[in-house]
Structure 1
Amino acid sequence: MRIERLTPASYRDLIQPDRVHGSLYTEPYVFEDELDKIFHRGWVFVAHESELPNVGDYVTRTVGRQHYLLVRGQDGAVNVFFNRCQHRGNLLCNKPTGTAKNFACPYHGWTFGLNGELQDVPHAGGFEKDWTKLGLEVPRSGNYRGFIFASAATDGISLDEHLGRAKELIDRACDLSPTGQLRLTAGWVRHEYAANWKMLPENDTDGYHVGFTHQSFMRAIRSQYDSFVSDEKQIKGVIRDWGNGHTEIDFAGGYTKPLEWLGTTPEKVPEYVAALEEAYGKERAEELMHLGPPHACIWPNLFLAEMNIVIFQPLAVDKSVQWHTPMLLEGAEGLDFRLLRQSEGALGPASFLVADDASIAERTQRALESGDPWCDLSRGLNREEIDARGVRSSHMTDETSNRGFWQHYLHVMGG
């Protein structure tokens, strides 16, 4: 069923309610179409404002083939630019992070200020254009509770429309901080996968694989996940499709005591408990300590991985990179050591989970390249429920989240 020319009908043929075709993971022309429709025209996560604490601090990020430059301006706001010089298109800033008073292009020395204005053109005697019209290009951008998103398209839906109901998931993460603010300041670790980027968000809200792919983890460590791999009728986790491609595994129903998700108890972290109660009141603090953080993917490239933040970066049809950093809580610095160690154990270079997931993704990629297969997504199709918010949910082992991902993919790619 290889399709050589992409049309909206092509995607409707390849994506059905209960299955998707393997060529969507393996065909280079599909990947090129994704870069345009998903990563260029749509909203993507680019950085967190805590990465830019001071005036002049900057980060550069690449999403798809688009290069972004984010910098804290003199007015305290975070400015988002395309990372290219307005003269001859050279990559303006080559370092991933740093602090600068301005940005000078290494090709011809054109210099731009922190607000993007063109400040200097060397040997300007032969240059007669209006400098005010040659500042850095500004993509559409938006900030929700410190998470900065950008779109390279000049028009389209708003960030608020894109996030939709999934803003509740970001709120759930931020509200674990007594100040409502997160800190992504521990640095990023990157893992390259020899697999298509879509396998990363699909896997990360797939509750069906946990007891099989991560058997070694389950056998080696007593954790809050033990109850999620027991008999099917005893599993309390819930899969959710929040719409717009945003998906979640909600573990809260399986937690038996407050802070189980943190691997501790309120008695062992009294300063954190006191700070939460002071900020939110005792009742809300107790609710937060029981609910814990979200385990949710925000379409297309952000993963709220409980106490980690993850970025999915597509490189080629069969190559992607997963970034991760611990999600540190402002006002709860006493938890930093614990969160760093947990992050290393879950997602670090010698961790339990990433190696398993990467191996599965790479084996799937190889298998799909060797044939013309369909991938079944029918589990739980007839036992889903829709709540008053319009959020679709089902048993943790069902494929509701995967279907939600692919139905939004069809909407974006197929029109």
Structure 2
Amino acid sequence: MTTEFTAETIYDLPAADLVQEDRVAGRMYTDPALFDEEQSKIFESTWVWVAHESELPKAGSFKSTFVGKHPVIITKDRKGNINTLINRCRHRGASVCEKPKGEVNGFTCPYHAWSYALDGKLRGIPYPDGYEGVMEKSEMSLKKLRTESYGGMIFATYKDDIESLEDFLGDVKPWIDLFFKQGAGYPVKVLGKHRFKFNGNWKIQLENTTDGYHFPIVHRSWMASVDEETANMMEFMTDEKCITHDLGNGHSVMQMVPAHSDLDKVDPDEPLQARFNHVVAELREQGVDEAQIRRLILAMHGTGFNLNLFPNVSMSISFLRVLRPLNVGQTEIEHVALGPDGPENITGPVNRERLRIHEHFQGPFGFGTPDDSEGWDRVQRGSQASPEMPIMVNRGMAREVTSEEGWTTSHVTDETGLRAAYRQWKKMMSDD
């Protein structure tokens, strides 16, 4: 049963009551206390994506990032293990690393030079005689988070007693496998990334990835800027084959180009886009066989779907989009470009073209990201007007069906993915 939120009661309601099946309260975007509660009950209580394995190619490789509001370092140690370490010296709390990535033998605090190994163990203290009989060095390692990976995607969690990563991902796993087929037989690697901030709550972006309803409206300028073949590929608004699935645990997938969901099963008669003729010519000059050329070119745009993983990462057609909540009204987004990791004479021309495609839509001067960001900013500004007024997520409720896999499914323009995310939010924010 749907109840109305009121200005008199909206701040008296517990968090879980702010989510109903067809709507959520605008307070969810604007309440600082609620934001703090989310950091504890969601970002410190579930699996959070932190890195792709290609970012840690060898022993000593590291990447700095965040789990919720907490700075962490992802490392590959000498045994090949991946570690997620809290970026906080055990002595007086200073950060031990300020670089975004690199290769090191360990980490040394700049304040008092306590030094740590790649697995976080405390290995050195200047003038250690002052600690004799006071402290055991073995008990002062950097705090380490539980870390697991699937399909090259690395996740960390503060909770040692929650389900395994594979159980948390559940029905998402085969979609991750499909997503990385865009390597065209090669592993996939990170080509580059850029970060930006928008003035809005993190959930506004979480909603966006499997919201097909906005695409032809917000991205009109992008549609007008590309060739006809690419524009036609994204004409999914009235195609009944284009659908969204609720995959459980807040995850969802939106199939915009179903024929490219599995790149190994693309119609063998589908022509290659003429816009890539120059790449085809360069690959032929390198002696690449025609079957491999076709595979590489068909994967140029990535896969035909957006995969949303609750709470912080989406695998969006050909790139990763990572969100980091900064405060109740500001979010940082990182766009991560991907491409095949193979011989330079083969993957070099392909990856240069993939970067140009990425820049054209996702880049800071692209046609997609600025338009999305404007929409997100406007939602935040509007929601401040009356935080009791609902945000509607009811599109397509009456036409949802259950797929043969058991997934709640509806049209690609319906809000099935949004409802999936908010059901998980409600579950995690419940006091019990």
* TM score, norm. by length of structure 1: 0.89
Is the aligned partner of 1:159 residue 2:165?
A: yes
Pairwise CA distance, 1:106: 1.2
How does 1:76-225 map onto structure 2 within 5 Å?
A: 76-128=80-132, 129-179=135-185, 181-184=187-190, 186-222=191-227, 223-225=229-231
Pairwise CA distance, 1:110: 0.7
CA distance in 2, matches of 1:159, 1:179: 25
SS in 1 for 2:254: strand
Pairwise CA distance, 1:243: 1.2
CA distance in 1, matches of 2:189, 2:115: 31
Contact 1:182 1:329 in 2 (8 A): yes
Unaligned runs of 5+ in 1: none
Pairwise CA distance, 1:400: 1.0
CA distance in 2, matches of 1:4, 1:72: 45
Which residue of the partner structure matches residue 368 of structure 1?
383
CA distance 1:17–1:337, shift in 2 (3 Å): same
**Counterpart among 311, 314, 317 of residue 325 in structure 2:** 314
**Counterpart among 395, 404, 413 of residue 420 in structure 2:** 404
SS in 1 for 2:399: coil
CA distance in 2, matches of 1:201, 1:88: 36
Which residue of the partner structure matches residue 304 of structure 1?
315
Contact 2:82 2:147 in 1 (8 A): no
CA distance 1:369–1:410, shift in 2 (3 Å): same
How does 1:187-336 map onto structure 2 within 5 Å?
A: 187-222=192-227, 223-226=229-232, 228-229=234-235, 233-234=238-239, 236-253=241-258, 258=270, 264=276, 271=288, 274-275=291-292, 292-331=303-342, 332-336=347-351
Number of residue pairs aligned between Structure 1 and Structure 2: 404
Deviations 1:107-139 (A, max 9, x none): 211111112221111111011322122222111
- Residue 102 of structure 1 aligns with an amino acid whose one-letter code is G
Is the aligned partner of 1:379 residue 2:379?
A: no
Is the aligned partner of 1:40 residue 2:44?
A: yes
CA distance in 2, matches of 1:407, 1:150: 22
CA distance 1:174–1:180, shift in 2 (3 Å): farther
SS in 2 for 1:175: helix
Which residue of the partner structure matches residue 50 of structure 1?
54
CA distance 1:159–1:263, shift in 2 (3 Å): farther
Pairwise CA distance, 1:187: 2.7
- Residue 378 of structure 1 aligns with an amino acid whose one-letter code is N
Pairwise CA distance, 1:275: 4.2
- Percent of aligned pairs with the same amino acid: 31
Deviations 1:324-348 (A, max 9, x none): 1211112344410111001100111
Deviations 1:6-58 (A, max 9, x none): 64xx42x3111111111111111111111111111111001111112122121
CA distance in 2, matches of 1:261, 1:207: 24
CA distance in 2, matches of 1:75, 1:150: 19
CA distance 1:352–1:288, shift in 2 (3 Å): closer
CA distance 1:379–1:274, shift in 2 (3 Å): same
* TM score, norm. by length of structure 2: 0.86
How well do the aligned residues superpose, as a CA RMSD in angstroms?
2.8
CA distance in 1, matches of 2:341, 2:34: 41
Q: For structure 1, which segment, 213-222 or 15-24, has the greater mean C-alpha deviation from structure 2 after superposition?
A: 213-222
Contact 2:83 2:145 in 1 (8 A): no
